[in-house]
Structure 1
Amino acid sequence: MKKGDRDPAVETDFFNPYLDASNSSWLSIKDFKLEDSGLQITYKINQNQKKAIEDTALQLELLERYRNKASQFILNEKNEIKKYCSSEDEIKIFFKNILASVSKLNLDDDNWLKVLCTFIQEESPVSAEARKWLKKYCSISNRWVCFKNDVCGPGRGESLKAYLKDVGNDEEKSVYFLSDEQLSRKIVCISDEIDNVQLEDENDLNVFVPGVIDLSDCKDADFYVFDSQGCTGIRYKCIGCEHGVIVLKKDA
């Protein structure tokens, strides 16, 4: 409707942003940051582009449209990012894979998405900053809850709800981080009830944890796993984490 009856096939001062491959590099990301109102993504027209591109983008309000598309796209992918990315490097891989899929499909209206994915997975300071904002936006972070007194580990058969209530917080989650006030005693509680993870081997096991998967500062933490019978009573150490799968090894 914004285009009206103008035909880019015959008018040299008007271009088709979907089909004019010669102008595929006219668009780039201007800003990518997290504000109180949410994730703010803005596009810009690269320098030294044809005047027809600027005029067309202005008339069709392309930059505003792309901004809205990008924000909605990230919102739609938020749970997937949170589920499969535990670090900024994995966010980079996530968008690299999306870019590969989009390029393979070769859709008409995908230039804004290609630009977005390319920007997020690039090796540059501004892209690295964008990945930090994405990590924060998707709530990929540890949730340490500190207590004044030393935090003791749960007992065998004790339910996660009972344990959290005993230490001072009975909000049940699939993963819960606990620590004393000095962060010298760290405990990570994992419940497998949501995804029905089977504990097949007590010495070495993989637990899929949705949502909270950044365990970068949990190397010195004690892990306890809860199943339908309560706490297994076994203390584990984290030996790896990838795509939300935490690899635990029985603590000697």
Structure 2
Amino acid sequence: MKHIRASHLTLDMLLERAKTLHDKERAKLFARVVWAITQGYSRKLEETKRIDFDSMIADAVRLVETGRYRSPYSLILVDEFQDISEPRANLIKALKQQKAFSKVFAVGDDWQSIYRFAGSDITIFTRFEANFGTSWQGRLEQTYRCNQLIAETAAKFVQRNPEQIKKSVRSTRPAVPRSIRVIPIEDKRDKPDFAAACQRLLQRLDAALGAIADRWRDEKRDKLKVLVLWRY
């Protein structure tokens, strides 16, 4: 629903996209159902005189384009630009065109683009000049987040997608050997057993820390406490 409303898609556009999927009949049925739900949702907003975030963006674009809102800003700063959607890009364009000599300063990373399901369009980022005119591009390729081994491994993984912009990521910290471990996950009828994999990971961690725990032990503490941040 959010993708349809944010990108102003029509039923014909959805049905055309459905033709590109493997199960075309199922995709067409799904498109019609979601379209009906979206239409009902939009009508409910109108009946109750309410707006959601996508309505706010559409209203803002209309106000700027019709001149009911006059922008005083010459410099427009946009963060997380890889998540930009067509309606939000139209708002930026409208603001830029309204005031002479205004500039757009955008910061983003196409490797972190994960909001396509919510209407974001990465091509607005990767084809910046086609959307906003002649530009200067600065690269921030140094990371403070992880060591060099993790940075290089992540870069190789992401760049297996030929659509990603090529980058050379440098870390402020040197590579730490064995900072990446692979834990096999056994499938049971195509259902990965993540609980078992997690248990194996914790057992490995327990064994590794057990060998160095004496460094932190003293008379008051007989156990070493470790915080595990699990992200899935």
Which bracket does the TM-score occupy, shorter chain normalised?
A: under 0.3
Q: Which has the higher strand share?
A: 1
Q: Give the alignment's TM-score, normalised by structure 1.
A: 0.23
| Between structures 1 and 2, the one with greater helix share | 2
What's the TM-score once normalised by structure 2's chain length?
0.24
Higher RCO (CA < 8 A, seq sep 6+): 1
